[in-house]
Amino acid sequence: MWNLGISVFKVGVKTVSEETPERSKMIRSLLVTIIFSVLILVLGISLWAWSSPEIIDSSPVGALNAINPAITVLLEVLVMLGFFVFLSVTVINLKLFLTEIRAGWTEVIVVLVVVAIIASTMFGVFVGAASVILSLGFVVYLYLLQE
């Protein structure tokens, strides 16, 4: 290696990304994020089912629409944002648990695309787009955590 007067390697220094948590903490974290991901997805599916034209008049979505239709859209977007956050953390933790290698941006982008497809299919293009925009905010937060 050329000596340019710059110390490239630091011996004995560990960064946060090089440390791996204990297996029991990783399992506990995985279980919590899986449970929250499933609960939020079930809430999203419930909102989608309650939006059916046959039962919307007697469902909670119909009651929210009677108050203000924007509340329903906001709730749908927030549910999909929560699903993205917990699903991406689950994927990141699961890859670290199984391979002991940190997840890359590919996994986060794949989860973003999956959530965008789910949100657009269940609630429409506008909710899908709003969910993607807010989810990109979380991706930026993850990027800033790296630095």
Q: What is the mean pLDDT of residues 43-53?
A: 90
Indicate the pTM of the whole model.
Answer: 0.81
What pLDDT score was predicted for residue 43? 95
What pLDDT score was predicted for residue 119? 95
Specify whether the backbone of 12 is left (phi greater than 0), alpha (psi in -120 to 50) or beta.
left
Q: Copy the structure tokens of residue 40.
A: 């939020």
What pLDDT score was predicted for residue 48? 92
What pLDDT score was predicted for residue 13? 45
Q: Are 115 and 85 in contact (CB under 8 A)?
A: no
3-state helix, strand, coil in the chain (%, to 5): 80, 0, 20
Look over the chain and give the mean of its residue pLDDT values, rounded to a whole number. 85
Distance, CA of 53 to CA of 19 (rounded, Å) = 51
The per-residue pLDDT for range 11-45, each reduced to its tens digit, is: 444 444 556 678 888 889 899 999 999 999 999 99
